[in-house]
Chain A
Amino acid sequence: MEAGALSNPVLRARRNRIDRIGDPLLRGLSGLAAALAVAVIVGIVYEVAHLAWPAITHFGIGFITTNDWNPVTERYGAAPFIYGTLVTSAIALLFAAPLAIAISIFLTELAPDRVRRPVATLVDMLAAIPSVILGLWGILVLGPFMHETVEPALKSAFGFLPIFSGDPSAFGYLTAAMILTIMITPIITSVTREVFETVPGELKEGSYALGATRWEMVRQVVLPYSRAGIVGATILGLGRAIGEAIAVAQVIGGATGINISLFHTGSTMAAQIAAQFQGAPGALQKPSLAYLGLLLLAFAVIVNLVARLIVQRGTLKDTDVTPTEVGAL
């Protein structure tokens, strides 16, 4: 049919026209779409930098280390928020990563099919809870629980450590970190689960054939094979934790200083921007918040790049390494 159609000179001319226009058009349109994505990123960075410029010129690089945020005296610094971001994200990762790995092992290796599907769906749904709802739950349920049960217990057991000193409080770094843990666990879980599912069945069976128990198989085959994926997933979770604003702003207590005690109130970069950007009165307050946004952007980019590097290098190396590792078993 095609050949018959092309033998007709009119149709062939039309075909030629389509060929001439079609390809360049496709290239043009898809190129435009790609350029748009780049333009949006460049536009955002430019806008934020432009807005931040008065603060950048006024405070300079010292902004990063200044431990103050005072709209009345117009002295601003990012240190309390960088500290808050690092502390809450680190604690969240500390809890979320092992939890997510355990859930993934359960779902891929241990759970019967009947259980696997609903549990996996529920874990994924945890990621769908709007952060403002989670924050509300944090104020009403988790905060009081931390205040009355968890923090007093930590204090009585490890009170000699400065991070567990001071008065328990419903609002603070630790409560925020727990909320973040709940937020990032499903993200890390869904990626690690996918990764675990890619472990070749032959390797697992080989391990069993050599007499490994299920735990030995997981430890010696699944985990080493998936190392890069796990690290990548964890850093993906870290990215989310660093950027989360609303839920953190609701439970962290909005204090603008560095406090060693995890029970104390603080703030993070994202939470501070979310809380104060609207109608910030000080002449330098908005630029300083934009400066904070620029730093947050830099954080996110660095985390993303690191994740990319690890995943790339890891997958290449691990596919080479794993068979020998399994052979050495």
Chain B
Amino acid sequence: MLAAVGVDSLQEIFERQIPEGVRLNRELELPAGLPEQDVYEHLRALAARNTSAEDELSFLGAGMYDHYVPALIDMLTERSEFLTPYTPYQPEISQGGLQVMFEYQTAISELTGLPVSNASAYEGPSAVAAAGYLAKLHNGKAKLVVSAGMHPHSIETLRTNAHGYGMEVVEVPLRDGVTDPDAWAQAIDEDTSAAIFAQPNFYGAVEDGAALSAAAKAIAGEPQDGSSAGDPARVRASGPVVIAQVDPIALGVLKAPGECGVDVAVGEGQPLGNRLDFGGPSFGLFAAREEYLRRMPGRIAGETLDVDGRRGFVLTLQTREQHIRREKATSNICTAQALNALAGVVYLTWLGRRGIVELGELLLARTHYARETLSAIEGVEKLHEQPVIREFALRLDADVAAVRRRCAAEGVNPGVDLEALTGRETDRGGLLVAVTEKRSRADIDRLADVLAQAVAAERKATVAVYPMAGHR
């Protein structure tokens, strides 16, 4: 080959092609090679430094939750027909894959009370950002109004994307743990493309979704001079798109977003049959009213009949994707998270219509017990008094990082340090505690004991500093 291209060595190719100034001209600073057995030992030692949610008593949540994943899910997702394929560019040959998408979409549609679901997005935050872009495509307006109750990662992703497509993000503060209704109404105007809130919100509080939707629609959605009367398409186009980021598990006990005036529901799919897996991969859910069908990212599978009248499945819509829009694609969710979404639909099927309600009721009871028990501790109070479903925020009269270290020493992870995650000064002392069906009453009692001791010790440590300062 070298002779064919007319050079004497591989090095000569680099020297001819790469300018002197950008060449490294030395070896990379990498450790020497190791035998495979030594590499295995090295990697094993690194892996042993991780702490799994099963190795400690974990009350972590903040968007991803440690639910039980039945063996059924692994059995089905590990089938090679599901586990190994790449994105179906000749989709109709993979009837099983399309049927999974169709059944997944049906389940998400029923759960959200919205008629159209796509076959999944990458994860929650990117689904939020994609919904923001859908709003821009729908009404061409430039402002996204976002509740501060959204997950901070979702707001961050939305901001990053909005910058790229020339939109402005306006954050509406919370009051008493939920979106401030006055500030919400004030922030939404005729230039607002979308109004976005989370249900339940990042601090665990249940928002009044119907009121937030109605307030958004009332401000810009109605024709001002009656000129659009009788033209429903125009009325809809003039108002903001109402987007809710939902926790699918909470929908077992909450009114469906579609019944609360929400136009687009997006969310993190991980709680549905996917383990924490150190943060991913997971999938995003994305459902909407029919008028947004053609603006939706990703793919939609449909049910049909073949020439012999037998039930079959097709890839019906992919209006923003690369294989239909070519260089003008505005979404690229191809292989996506189909396997994770499969876990999601198997989980929903396993739970069933009754099961998801019962799970929600169980979470309500346990979470209520945990919130009351923990807030009874000296130096611990509720961050807000709003109703909660599966997660709640506390305020500690102590340094949260130090308290968490003390709890960790006892094998307990009491929850997320709010200020560390949000960077908000108002979150100082905040601890976000999540409860799943895997955390028993006894587990909650143990958390209460460990947390009480840790808070007491840290308060004492803090108090002890002041007399010393006084002596100086």
Bound pair (A, B) = no
Residues of chain B touching chain A, judged by Cβ–Cβ distance below 8 Å, are none
Residues of chain A touching chain B, judged by Cβ–Cβ distance below 8 Å, are none
